[in-house]
Structure 1
Amino acid sequence: MMYILIAILCIIIIILFSTLNKRIRNLENEIFEIKKNLTDIKDNEVKDFSVNQLSPAADKNSEKDENPFETQELQAEDKIHVSPVFDFLKQNALAIVGIFTLVLGIAYFVKYAVDNNWIGEAARAGIGFAAGTLIIGTGHFLRKNYNVFASIITGGGIAVLYFTATIAFREYHLFSQNTAFLMTCLITVVSIFLSYYYKSEILIIFSLIGGFLAPLMISTGQSNYPFLFIYITLINTGMLAVAFLRGWKSIGWIAFIFTSIYLGYWTIATPEFITVYFYAVSYIVFYAFALQNYFTKKNLFPWDILMLVLINFTGVIGTVYIFKQLQYDPIIIFPSGFALLNSFLLYREHTEKRFGTAYSVFSGIAVSLVTVAFALQFRANLITCVWAVEATLLLFIWKKTELRIFRNFFYIIFPLVIIAQMMTWTKYMDAKNLNIIFNPLFLTSSVTACTAFINLLLLKKLPERRENNSRFFENIFTAVSYAIFYTAILLEIIYHISGKPLIVIFSIGMLFSLYYIFAMLLFRKKFDINHTLEVGLIYIFFSLIIINTIIAGTGIITHIIMKDIDLNYYLMYGLYLIPMVYTAVKILPGSYFFRIKLSYWFLATAVVTAVSMEAYHIYLLICSENRADMEQLEEYFTLLYLPIIWAVLASIFIFKGLKTDAREYGKAGFALLGITIVKLYLYDVWKMDNVSRIIAFIILGIILLLSSFLFQRLKNIVATMVEKSDEKIERNETDMQ
């Protein structure tokens, strides 16, 4: 009963299909007649106009259309490869789902027949091959009127043949592996021939995917990589021929992705020297593919440039990794050879006096590969160096072409560079006996730092018309780049002084940090540091000074008194005073720092802390002989000398505030004076002996009186100057009248 219902359903479907097909053909005929009538009307209208009636403006516009800018060509070519994919998916989604569903339906039918023992294993394979052939024949029958739909149908038939051959070999064992491989090769060859004959890019995409997946379908788990890559090389050669004959760019990218995956897996699984030959062959094939437009149209389009970048750096990574694993030399032969090839193309551009996109791309790739070769010769980390140089190359191409695709790839690769660099830095923990500077870890950091510096220069020279989100990423990148410089040098310094006492390591690290920020502030205009970052750096600089004097200085003095280190370390520690004084005297007056009122208070705090702590350090060095003396002297200094120092500094701040327009200095001075008095009366007097109390009160009193006298005198001077200024203005007004 069920079979009768299925037969009736099939008959109904056939009748409905034939009826709908007849109606669709009638509609097509009507549309054809309408188009023909419209064409006749347009032809008659065109005849009424003379060619000479075209306006000069139209002639100019036509000239502009015939001579577009190179960047506009690149952008148009960039869109050509992206938008048709989405258009194809939107317009043919139903057909794709339909053929996929049909293939699944055939598979489920065969499974149902197998479960009910209707057919044997050979018959199952025969049904699969017959169904695939039938579907391909249907596509061939429909190709004249429904080209795209027929290509999808034919691709589904090819998929059925691939899966049938795979199942017949893996599940039913109907033939050997060699026979299965020959069958899949035959299917691939036939499908490529059909796609070339039908002029169908969609069909050849199906064919290529099936051809690259065929080895996985018939794999038995035994690795026969040379045989596999001979097969892949043959596919890539056929791809290259079809790409040149038909100009289909998508098939080259599909082949490149599959080839890179296979080569990468083989390289990591079993590094063998024979793999290098396949890397070389793949490099030649895909380089020729990428240069197709260069030789035919004398130009490089965005996806061609991206292919050139990727094939160069994947080739370098693979070949150098194999040489490193097998301990062969020289490892720079491959990046140098690739650089030589690009230099030849660069020379070709130079001799023909073409200095456009291609010239920039070849020069960028050549310089990048030479940089990688130089770094690898000194055993720098492979992945980190290659990614860092590649990111810079993409940014360079972005600057030359202004195409977003290279900016986007730069944003993708640069975070990978940071991750790889951080992983490289962790190797300092286990490294032993590294040379100063000329060691793999620091050389890797140097490459990353140099590329980051070049990136900063490139970003600085980019056009001003950029989006806000682009500027946001660029600001983050700038901050991260400065952090790379800082961390790279700091870790190298710390590694080589790791045998010193901890306080010495901390002190040297703080000193380097201060000088690093000082250098950024000193060359802030050349580095194009904006005002916000400048003010932030100044705050960080003086914050580090406060931390340095309290922790590092006190620790150094303690170790000197305990005879753990000598006095030279304190002299070295005191070098922070040079950038501190220069910054306060030369850099701060011309910066935006003082536009924030809080900055006056912050600077006053840093000065008070530095002067107080250095006076305390010198006092301990002079008077202390052991650790026990330090505690007594510390309390004595706090009670007797510290109030005097604060009172003197408070007077200086008050005087500075009155003499200049910076009133915040005066407020800070009065605040410090108030703290000193409160400290004296609430704490110090209860800790001092009578003699010390008398001395402190007398000296502090004298300082306060002198400060008050200076304040009053300066106040009178200012008032007199104001009066004289007013009188002078009045006289000038009288003379004018």
Structure 2
Amino acid sequence: MNEILAVILIIVIIIIFNNLNAKIRKLEKEVSDLSAKINRTSSQEEMIHENIPTDKTVIFQQTTAQEIQTRESSQSDHKTPSTSPQKDRLGPVLDFLKQNALTIIGIFTLVLGIGYFVKYAIDKNWLGETARAGIGLCTGAGIIIIGHFLRKNYAVFASIITGGGIAVLYFTATIAFREYHLFSQNTAFVITSIITVISILLSYYYKSEVLIIFSLLGGFSAPFMISTGQSNYLFLFIYLSLLNMGMLAVTFLQHWRSVGWTAYIFTSLYLLYWTSEQPELLSILFYLISYVIFYIFALQDYFRKNILSVADILMLALINFTSIIGLVYTFRELGYEPVIIFPAAFAILNIFLFLREYGRKNFGISYSVFAGITVSLITIAVALQFKTHLITSVWAIEATLLLFIWKKTGHTIFKTCFYVLFPLVILSQITTWTQYLDTHTLSVIFNPVFLTSMVTVASTVINLYLLKTQEDTKQKEGYFLENLITIVSFGIIYTALLLEIIYHIYDKPWAAVTAVGLLFSIFYIFALLLFRKKIGINNELQVALIYLFLLLITINTSVSASSVVSAILSKKLQSVFYYMHLLQWIPFIYVYLAIIPSSGFYKSKISYWALCIAFITAISSEFHHLYVLTASHDVIHSYKVKEHFNILYLPIIWTVLASVLIYLGLRKNIQEYSKIGFVLVGVTILKLYTYDVWQMDNISRISAFIALGIILLLSSFTFQRLKNIIRNMVDKKDNNEESKDL
């Protein structure tokens, strides 16, 4: 019963379609007759006007021509030559999908319907295995024939229909081999190859780019379809090489760029999977064959018209670096040397192209691209010779190359690719740094981890240089992202150097490791501040670095130096570690005198407090540590010495510093200095009367009060003199102004 209903439904659909088709043909005939009649009428009117021109017509034509010329000139005046509309790369694809979505869904549904019908026939035992395969092949061929007859009037529709027929042929051959075992694997491969060749020939004959994409998808999927789980890579890549050569021939004849990119993506996936699963010397041959094929593909327009498009440049960059990754990885896994033979060979090829441009005195985009690729390949060769990590080095250099090409060409796609690749470089570099934890026999500097870090650091420095632009030319769009990349880049350089230093002193006491790390951090930030203009650090980042610098100075002098002193007294460290710590005063004084005044650091009132707290802490701590080192014999004795210093000498130091701050505040008319000075005096007095007095003996108490009293009186006397001097200067200035007025 169900079968009868299905047949009746199909017959009804055919009758309805036939009636609609007849009506459409009738409507098409009426439209064509009407358009022919309109054309005849318009041609007769044109002949009449040409034979009998009037003065009004001439005047109207002249006036119209003047209006058009005026409108065009006004439009050209309002156009800005610097801003050209960006080409919408996804527009054609979206238009294609909008216009042909129903066709694509329809052919897909038809293929599924045929498949379900065949399955239903199999379940009912209507067909044997051979008949099933025959029906599938005949159905696919029938669909292709239908597409052939529709190609003249409905080109895109016919291409999609033909692609669906090719898909039916592929799936039929696959099912016949894997499910029914009607023929061997070699026979199945020959059949799928014939289908691929036929589809490519049809694509070329129909001049259909859509159809050849379908053909390539089927051609690259065929090995999966007929796979038995056994790895026959020789057979596979001979087939892929032949397929790529056919692709190359078609692109030369029809200039279809999407065909080459489709082939490149599938070929790279196959090669990289083979390399990772089973590295073989045979894969090197196919890497080189693929390299030559896709390099020729990328240079088609260059040799024809001496131009390189965006897609060509991107293909040149990708094929170089993906090939190097696969080749070098295979060589290293198999234990062959030297691995630099591949980047060196690729560099020689690009040198010829570079010299070709140089000899023609053509210093345009092609010259810059070949120069950049050549330098990148030579850099990779040198890096690999020093046993650096492959992925990290190649990605870092490739990211720099993409940024360089963006700088030379102005095409934003290369900058976008850099933004995508840069986080991968960071993640790969972090993975490389983890190897510091796994091995304990790395040599100083000349070890794979640090040399890889140096490659990343070098590429990062070049990135910063390429991203550096003048403030007035920076666009708001992308400004935040560039700032973020700048900060991360500084972090990469800092981490790379710090980890190498810590790795080689990790066996020292923790106090020494901390002291060296903090001292390096202080000098690193000092270097950034010293060369802030050359490396393009903006004012906001500069102020943030100064705050971080002051924080590190405070931590280093108060916490780290104290642990170093304890380690020295306990004979775990030499005294040189503390004297090395005193080197921090060189950048501290320079930053205070030369960098802070011109940095805009004093725009905020809190900056005075941050600077004074760091300075007071540093001075107090240094006197404290020096006193403990000179007056203590061991760690136990140092506790009494520290207590004696805190009670007797620290209030005196704070009082002197408070007096200096108050003096500076009055001298430079900066209220914040005076406020900080008075706060410090208050803290000193509060500490003296609430704690220190009760811990002193009589002699120390008398000495402390006398010394503190003398200092306060001298400070007060100095302030009074200073106030009188300032008052006299103001009065003298007012008198001079009054005399001038008289």
The TM tier, using the shorter chain, reads over 0.9
- Alignment-derived partner of residue 540 in structure 2: 532
Task: Work out the CA distance in 1 between the residues paired with 2:666 and 2:523.
Answer: 33
Q: TM-score, normalised by structure 1?
A: 0.94
User: Could you tell me which amino acid in structure 1 is paired with residue 313 of structure 2?
Assistant: I
- Alignment-derived partner of residue 312 in structure 1: 320
User: Could you tell me which amino acid in structure 1 is paired with residue 21 of structure 2?
Assistant: N
Distance 1:147 1:72, change over 3 A: farther
Number of aligned residue pairs: give it: 726
In the TM superposition, 1:310-709 aligns within 5 A as 310-461=318-469, 467-709=475-717
User: Could you tell me which amino acid in structure 2 is paired with residue 721 of structure 1?
Assistant: M
Deviation of 1:428 (Å): 0.8
Q: Report the more deviating stretch, 707-716 or 228-237.
A: 707-716
Deviation per CA, 1:207-258, whole angstroms, max 9, x where unpaired?
A: 1000001011001111010110000000000000000100111110110000
Q: Report the more deviating stretch, 18-27 or 310-319.
A: 18-27
Deviation of 1:122 (Å): 0.9
- Alignment-derived partner of residue 105 in structure 2: 97
SS for the counterpart of 2:508 is coil
Distance 1:368 1:26, change over 3 A: farther
Deviation of 1:347 (Å): 1.1
User: Could you tell me which amino acid in structure 2 is paired with residue 7 of structure 1?
Assistant: V
- Alignment-derived partner of residue 121 in structure 1: 129
Deviation of 1:86 (Å): 1.6
Distance 1:671 1:402, change over 3 A: same
User: Could you tell me which amino acid in structure 2 is paired with residue 261 of structure 1?
Assistant: L
Give yes or no for contact 1:162–1:184 (8 Å, CA) kept in 2: yes
Deviation of 1:34 (Å): 6.2
Give yes or no for contact 1:399–1:462 (8 Å, CA) kept in 2: no
Task: Work out the CA distance in 2 between the residues paired with 1:392 and 1:227.
Answer: 38
- Alignment-derived partner of residue 11 in structure 2: 11
User: Could you tell me which amino acid in structure 1 is paired with residue 180 of structure 2?
Assistant: Y
SS for the counterpart of 1:683 is helix
Task: Work out the CA distance in 1 between the residues paired with 2:201 and 2:650.
Answer: 94
- Alignment-derived partner of residue 186 in structure 1: 194
Deviation per CA, 1:338-381, whole angstroms, max 9, x where unpaired?
A: 11111111111111222221111111111111111111110111
Deviation per CA, 1:102-155, whole angstroms, max 9, x where unpaired?
A: 111111111111111111111111111111111111111111111111111111
Task: Work out the CA distance in 2 between the residues paired with 1:309 and 1:175.
Answer: 43
In the TM superposition, 1:265-284 aligns within 5 A as 265-284=273-292
Deviation of 1:435 (Å): 2.1
Task: Work out the CA distance in 2 between the residues paired with 1:111 and 1:164.
Answer: 12
Deviation of 1:44 (Å): 4.5
Give yes or no for contact 1:162–1:210 (8 Å, CA) kept in 2: yes
- Alignment-derived partner of residue 714 in structure 1: 722
Distance 1:344 1:286, change over 3 A: same
Task: Work out the CA distance in 2 between the residues paired with 1:580 and 1:28.
Answer: 88
Task: Work out the CA distance in 2 between the residues paired with 1:304 and 1:32.
Answer: 45
In the TM superposition, 1:143-292 aligns within 5 A as 143-292=151-300
Task: Work out the CA distance in 2 between the residues paired with 1:507 and 1:366.
Answer: 43
User: Could you tell me which amino acid in structure 1 is paired with residue 460 of structure 2?
Assistant: A
Task: Work out the CA distance in 2 between the residues paired with 1:71 and 1:129.
Answer: 58
User: Could you tell me which amino acid in structure 2 is paired with residue 561 of structure 1?
Assistant: L
Q: Report the more deviating stretch, 522-531 or 310-319.
A: 522-531
Deviation of 1:469 (Å): 4.1
Deviation of 1:38 (Å): 6.1
Q: Which has the higher contact order (CA 8 A, sep 6+)?
A: 1
SS for the counterpart of 2:478 is helix
Task: Work out the CA distance in 2 between the residues paired with 1:195 and 1:115.
Answer: 36
Task: Work out the CA distance in 2 between the residues paired with 1:20 and 1:429.
Answer: 76
Deviation per CA, 1:291-338, whole angstroms, max 9, x where unpaired?
A: 111122221111111111100100111111111111111111111111
Q: Report the more deviating stretch, 346-355 or 105-114.
A: 346-355
Deviation of 1:279 (Å): 0.6
Give yes or no for contact 1:71–1:401 (8 Å, CA) kept in 2: no
Deviation of 1:30 (Å): 4.8
User: Could you tell me which amino acid in structure 2 is paired with residue 156 of structure 1?
Assistant: G
Give yes or no for contact 1:103–1:160 (8 Å, CA) kept in 2: yes
Task: Work out the CA distance in 1 between the residues paired with 2:650 and 2:98.
Answer: 80
SS for the counterpart of 2:371 is helix
Deviation of 1:705 (Å): 0.8
The Cα RMSD (Å) is: 2.6
Deviation of 1:9 (Å): 1.9
**Does residue 25 of structure 1 match 2:36?**
no
Q: TM-score, normalised by structure 2?
A: 0.94
Distance 1:350 1:29, change over 3 A: farther
User: Could you tell me which amino acid in structure 2 is paired with residue 3 of structure 1?
Assistant: E
- Alignment-derived partner of residue 732 in structure 1: 740
Task: Work out the CA distance in 2 between the residues paired with 1:560 and 1:317.
Answer: 50
User: Could you tell me which amino acid in structure 1 is paired with residue 433 of structure 2?
Assistant: W
Q: Report the more deviating stretch, 604-613 or 343-352.
A: 343-352
User: Could you tell me which amino acid in structure 2 is paired with residue 17 of structure 1?
Assistant: F
Q: Please, which runs of 5 or more residues in structure 2 have no aligned partner? A: none
SS for the counterpart of 1:468 is coil
Deviation per CA, 1:559-592, whole angstroms, max 9, x where unpaired?
A: 1111221211111111101111111112111221
Task: Work out the CA distance in 2 between the residues paired with 1:150 and 1:597.
Answer: 75
Deviation of 1:436 (Å): 1.8
User: Could you tell me which amino acid in structure 2 is paired with residue 642 of structure 1?
Assistant: L
Deviation of 1:687 (Å): 1.3
Give yes or no for contact 1:129–1:160 (8 Å, CA) kept in 2: yes
Deviation per CA, 1:239-291, whole angstroms, max 9, x where unpaired?
A: 00000100111110110000000000001111111111101110010011111
Give yes or no for contact 1:395–1:458 (8 Å, CA) kept in 2: yes
Deviation per CA, 1:503-539, whole angstroms, max 9, x where unpaired?
A: 1111011111000111111111111211111110000
Deviation of 1:467 (Å): 5.0
SS for the counterpart of 2:176 is helix
Distance 1:574 1:463, change over 3 A: closer
Distance 1:296 1:465, change over 3 A: farther
User: Could you tell me which amino acid in structure 2 is paired with residue 723 of structure 1?
Assistant: D
